[in-house]
Chain A
């Protein structure tokens, strides 16, 4: 039996098609049962996320016939036109295993190197395992995939650095404060990015958000969304004694915070560090405040430089990850039992020979 994969992802299909082929989690066990009942696969796992729908299977028949049968199953299950093929891909070994390892490692994700997919893959595998739809082939393949994902995470920089403004701010805050738990965040100017940044900080433990805006209604609206507190725009300076992080994005044509204004406020803070995020253009905060002790200021260019560098670094790591994956697939195939289809019989092409159904 060989491991094969059939599916589509954000790389091959727009969301309008992906959503038509997706499986609700509750429906997956019955779909897996149908695959077995129709003798399409002895072992199978269905991975269905917002960015991909894939069926991993092991069947005793010829891999090409298995791929064709799985493609037909996927389309007919959702009542779709059998001509919907350019978006679907199908691979057998070793590409199927390389693909699985790449998916587990976040190399095939929309946000390169992200880790959420590993959790989704683990849940998909656990669901199939729970309903006894996996066997020796898929168990070995998935366990190895999880192991490879861990190895890639620890031995390469593919997941190092953040690639969104919100995550970069969280990273910076975690380099300054011992813990984000209990930290108070002041949002000056209720813009979209500042809202997202505050949300990212809250998700990592920040306990309080105070929102201020020239339009109090907009401040109240964002504060309600963030379960925080809105204050009038003229009162934000009074909060500086207790906040730890300030995110500013007003449309003021001049600095709203400069060194003469901040120095007396820092004395109130008793030298606690202060993280200032200035995402406004023109800038809200005088860059000179960064020279002050315990004040750390970042503007939109700083944040974008960090995200771009992190993304560049991740891209540079892809070749190393692919090499590592190929080695691990080779290792898996070489150590497969004598009677297993996981043992190679023919030379294996590289993963970059992507194939789709004709």
Chain B
């Protein structure tokens, strides 16, 4: 398409996600009072570009483009934006695009980072155990991401309810009690998925290397992430530390995952052979 490679097209799509993010800031300032279709159209356009990029890559490689971290991330983004576009058909829920856009933009920038798009000349068929490990862990990050998004919504609504009361009443946000419930449930599902993913990883390690544990940067990092979310959920359950505190930690946890994922992936011998 106009001489663009699939990667270039994806970069343009990420640019449109960036524009959507700027528009999301505008919606944020307006207090989510109106059902806005502009953000929906922008995300629809970005998804169109991304779909063309994925089809182009799929045809050029003659295989489904989900074989490296770049492709897997691109696929995850596509699933998120597709889910939003379906949800956004309901006018009242269209404002969710203002939350989806920054996440898609950040994940898109992450996907474009060098070193993620490694190509094998021949399709590499991944063993079932490794596929399950990767899929479950990726899904767990998705759940943590969803928890972070609802936590941002919680904090926005909580701030408005206390300090900008008119804006809170007129906004389209769900009640904060429901937002808090969705946040902790997302984190709990994420933790369960991460646990399952780590179990499959351990089984693979035993099968391939004969050990259950290896001192590897990514493994240590994953254990740290698991512990952080487990302690966060335990505190909420045991000490009823909900509300603002819980929301900030849900956001901080996901930011940590986003910012350190690529670095620890590069440092890992078994994840980056």
Chain B's interface size range is: 20 to 34
A261 interface hit (Cβ, 8 Å):
no
State which of A18-26, A186-194, A294-302, A340-348 sits at the interface with chain B. Answer: A294-302
Residues of A contacting B243 in the complex (Cβ-Cβ under 8 angstroms): 271, 293-294
In A284-337, the 8 Å CB interface with B consists of 290-291, 293-294, 296, 298, 302, 305-306, 309-310, 313
User: Do A171 and B91 touch (CB < 8 A)?
Assistant: no
Expressed in whole angstroms, the minimum distance between the Cβ of A3 and any Cβ of chain B is 31
Residues of A contacting B1 in the complex (Cβ-Cβ under 8 angstroms): none
A168 interface hit (Cβ, 8 Å):
yes
Residues of A contacting B242 in the complex (Cβ-Cβ under 8 angstroms): 271, 294
User: Do B245 and A175 touch (CB < 8 A)?
Assistant: no
User: Do A302 and B165 touch (CB < 8 A)?
Assistant: yes
State which of B17-25, B39-47, B110-118, B176-184 sits at the interface with chain A. Answer: B176-184
Residues of B contacting A298 in the complex (Cβ-Cβ under 8 angstroms): 165
Residues of B contacting A306 in the complex (Cβ-Cβ under 8 angstroms): 165-166, 169
In B136-194, the 8 Å CB interface with A consists of 157, 161-162, 165-166, 168-171, 173, 175-178, 181
Q: Which of B177, B240, B241 contacts A273 (CB 8 A)?
A: B177
Residues of A contacting B7 in the complex (Cβ-Cβ under 8 angstroms): none
CA distance in complex: A339, B91 (Å): 39
Interface string of A74-109 (1 = CB under 8 A from B): 000000000000000000000000000000000000
Residues of B contacting A313 in the complex (Cβ-Cβ under 8 angstroms): 170
A136 interface hit (Cβ, 8 Å):
no
CA distance in complex: A229, B162 (Å): 30
Chain A's interface size range is: 20 to 34
A160 interface hit (Cβ, 8 Å):
yes
Whether A175 contacts B176 in the complex (CB less than 8 A), given A154-B91, A294-B243, comes out as yes
Residues of A contacting B166 in the complex (Cβ-Cβ under 8 angstroms): 305-306, 309
In A169-211, the 8 Å CB interface with B consists of 171-172, 174-178
CA distance in complex: A157, B173 (Å): 16
Interface string of B80-111 (1 = CB under 8 A from A): 00000000000100000000000000000000
Residues of A contacting B240 in the complex (Cβ-Cβ under 8 angstroms): 270-271
Expressed in whole angstroms, the minimum distance between the Cβ of B2 and any Cβ of chain A is 38
A161 interface hit (Cβ, 8 Å):
yes
User: Do B169 and A176 touch (CB < 8 A)?
Assistant: no
Expressed in whole angstroms, the minimum distance between the Cβ of A44 and any Cβ of chain B is 37
User: Do B162 and A171 touch (CB < 8 A)?
Assistant: no
User: Do B175 and A177 touch (CB < 8 A)?
Assistant: yes
Whether A176 contacts B161 in the complex (CB less than 8 A), given A154-B91, A160-B170, A271-B241, comes out as yes
Residue of A nearest to B170 (CB): A161
Whether A172 contacts B169 in the complex (CB less than 8 A), given A293-B243, A293-B244, comes out as yes
User: Do A175 and B157 touch (CB < 8 A)?
Assistant: yes
Whether A296 contacts B162 in the complex (CB less than 8 A), given A161-B169, A162-B169, A271-B240, comes out as yes
CA distance in complex: A171, B169 (Å): 6
User: Do B161 and A172 touch (CB < 8 A)?
Assistant: yes
Expressed in whole angstroms, the minimum distance between the Cβ of B116 and any Cβ of chain A is 40
Expressed in whole angstroms, the minimum distance between the Cβ of B168 and any Cβ of chain A is 6
User: Do B175 and A178 touch (CB < 8 A)?
Assistant: yes
Q: Which of B34, B157, B240 has the most CB of A within 10 A?
A: B240
Q: Which of A154, A175, A273 contacts B169 (CB 8 A)?
A: A175
CA distance in complex: A217, B91 (Å): 50
User: Do B244 and A175 touch (CB < 8 A)?
Assistant: no
User: Do B177 and A177 touch (CB < 8 A)?
Assistant: yes
Residue of A nearest to B91 (CB): A154
In B233-259, the 8 Å CB interface with A consists of 240-245
Q: Could you name 24 residue pairs across A and B whose Cβ atoms are closer than 8 Å? A: A154-B91, A160-B170, A172-B168, A175-B157, A175-B168, A175-B171, A176-B161, A176-B175, A176-B176, A176-B177, A177-B175, A178-B175, A178-B178, A271-B240, A271-B242, A293-B244, A294-B242, A296-B162, A302-B165, A305-B165, A306-B165, A306-B166, A310-B169, A310-B170
Which A residues have a C-beta under 8 Å from some C-beta of B?
154, 157, 160-162, 168, 171-172, 174-178, 270-271, 273, 290-291, 293-294, 296, 298, 302, 305-306, 309-310, 313
Closest 4 CB pairs of A and B: A178-B178, A271-B240, A270-B240, A178-B177
